[in-house]
Structure 1
């Protein structure tokens, strides 16, 4: 596979969406959680989305409960939390697994295209970020602690 466009994912509202719908956009794909020390990054992700969405950019959030049970609730609860606490309007998807035998196909692709530190494929924590170019290819993987605003120059270079 050479891009994300052959994959799909279930949105947080339950509707299956082809990632080909994002063809031609620069994407930031992030595994998110509501009860994590990094959860305030939602504000920075939303700011990136609002700043660049009219130029062909999107943030795609994928809730995951694989790290210290920090996203235990059902999708409606996750959506409500994101909206009320951080005014999130960027696309959110259904809860997925990013590691192990149940890894979502999107994350299998992302991890193989951009391994982590020392070539490790595993996602280490919530808020690992993958920057995707307009052709659906992974440009770079960012550690969970990298604040969204730090990605601004990289995003602008792809727009």
Structure 2
């Protein structure tokens, strides 16, 4: 009899622990820039972008996102998924930023945007720079954003 009760309790415990935490689309650490964006090692098709939460840029992992510069900037413009919105994420990168082009030299990454870069908020600039940082920037690189006849140079992630 005691064995049956013990077996029943073990079964209940196993069933209870099988339920619970569901996978989420947004995975982030502290609510502050946590370094450059990157692809997740060993997880093809998962990229990191930076969205805004509580007034700071936050790294968010996106499964299935094309890892090209165009796709990353487009993801910033499109903003958070419905699950990310429910978690409080937003974007500051305007629709007018597209189309965009990225070029890389030995020490500089230039991002050409279709909008006046002087009208971008500091959060929008951080989203773009941090998202593109690891993918395109050799160590020590600075970013220059060009658009609307204006230039923002010397930008860095973090």
Q: TM over 0.5, yes or no?
A: no
Q: If you compute each CA radius of gyration, which structure gives the higher value, 1 or 2? A: 2
Structure-1-length-normalised TM-score: 0.26
Task: Give the structure with the higher percent strand.
Answer: 2
Structure-2-length-normalised TM-score: 0.26
Which structure exhibits the higher relative contact order, with contacts defined as CA atoms closer than 8 Å and separated by 6 or more residues? 1
